[in-house]
């Protein structure tokens, strides 16, 4: 007798209705180092085979300096080098970026640390890029679903796309991170690729797959997504400090809508969702998530 196929974490999460908005990293800084995929560690970037120790310790040293850094590895098609690396850096709070090519691997950590210290002399990232999580060692959904999206993006050909190590939230695969903006996308299907590419190339958010803007907290990400749902063409979106009253949280949001400045109040609440966190889990995990209950435009 054939056993029923096991539910994947992405299927479980979708069935539970867990929202995408609010699931991007709140880390202000991001760095990605090119490294052959076969050498990636299944769980921790820092333990990847052959990776210089100083690069692996970047997150820890940034934390000691009071900074939050998200460190990832990536690989371009056919790349197998470990002696000279490519490095991508972003400061999502200031929109500052850096793009280093042909850096001796042992010098990579120093380049990233200078960027974290505020050095703006490095060449910036000149055009948008999508990092696609294809890290099947970390979770089966990322490997299977991420690979199909990477293939579709490369077939589309209008945007640079590379394989990336775990971007967070494999239950929301396929996941893509847009640089330089830090917009994170999840549940991306091949049918989403043309519209996603068009949005990223023109500096717009692709709302159907939007998880949030890296560097913001969860409530701010949820409020931003709710504002964009009402005003899709909005620019200069600035979530403010949430006002909390018991279980209710109100996030002020200011945005530009054409020539008009609009001020919104996004009312958020928490809800518990039960779903598999990873394909290797035996039982669902209960997870509390914020969602937008209502959006009220304030008079100006």
Taking only the tens place, the pLDDT of each residue in 128-174 is 999 999 999 999 999 999 999 999 999 999 999 999 999 999 999 99
The domain limits of the chain are 23-216, 217-300
Domain range 23-216, its CATH number among 3.40.50.80, 3.40.30.10, 3.30.750.210, 2.30.40.10: 3.40.30.10
Taking only the tens place, the pLDDT of each residue in 32-85 is 999 999 999 999 999 999 999 999 999 999 999 999 999 999 999 987 889 999
Q: Which residue has the tokens 């996603």?
A: 196
Contacts of 58 (CB under 8 A, 6+ apart): 31, 69, 71, 109, 112, 113
What is the mean pLDDT of the segment spanning 94-103? Answer: 96
Contact 73, 32 (CB under 8 A): yes
Q: Is the pTM value of this prediction over 0.85?
A: yes
Domains 23-216 and 217-300 share a fold: no
What is the mean pLDDT of the segment spanning 265-273? Answer: 96
- Top CATH class of 217-300 equals alpha beta
What is the rounded end-to-end Cα distance, in angstroms, of the chain? 67
- Smallest Cα–Cα separation from 214: which of 228, 200, 224? 224
Q: In this structure, what DSSP letter does residue 45 have?
A: G
Whether 225 has a pLDDT exceeding 60, the answer reads yes
For residue 194, whether the previous peptide bond is cis, meaning omega lies within 30 degrees of 0, is no
């Amino acid at each position: 007798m054939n056993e029923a196929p096991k539910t994947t974490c992405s299927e479980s999460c979708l069935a539970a209705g867990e929202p995408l908005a609010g699931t991007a990293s709140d880390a202000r800084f991001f760095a990605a180092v090119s490294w052959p995929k076969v050498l990636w560690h299944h769980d921790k970037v820092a333990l990847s085979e052959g990776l210089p120790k100083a690069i692996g310790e970047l997150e820890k040293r940034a934390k000691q300096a009071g900074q939050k850094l998200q460190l990832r590895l990536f690989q371009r098609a056919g790349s197998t080098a470990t002696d000279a690396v490519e490095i991508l850096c972003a400061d999502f709070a200031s929109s500052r970026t850096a793009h280093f090519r042909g850096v001796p691997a042992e010098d990579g950590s120093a380049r990233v640390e200078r960027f974290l210290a505020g050095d703006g002399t490095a060449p910036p990232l000149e055009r948008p890029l999508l990092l696609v999580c294809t890290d099947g060692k970390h979770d089966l959904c990322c490997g299977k679903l991420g690979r199909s999206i990477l293939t579709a993006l490369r077939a589309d050909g209008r945007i640079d796309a590379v394989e990336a190590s775990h971007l967070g939230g494999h239950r929301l695969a396929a996941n893509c991170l847009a640089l330089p903006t830090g917009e994170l996308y999840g549940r991306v299907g091949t049918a989403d690729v043309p519209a996603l590419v068009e949005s990223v190339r023109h500096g717009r958010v692709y709302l159907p797959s939007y998880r949030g803007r890296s560097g913001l907290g969860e409530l701010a990400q949820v409020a931003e997504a709710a504002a964009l749902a009402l005003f899709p063409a909005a620019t200069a979106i600035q979530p403010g400090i949430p006002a909390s009253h018991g279980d209710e949280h109100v996030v002020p949001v200011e945005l530009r809508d054409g020539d008009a400045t609009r001020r919104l109040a996004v009312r958020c609440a928490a809800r518990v969702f039960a779903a598999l966190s990873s394909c290797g889990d035996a039982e669902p995990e209960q997870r509390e998530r914020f969602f937008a209950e209502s959006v009220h435009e304030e008079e100006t």
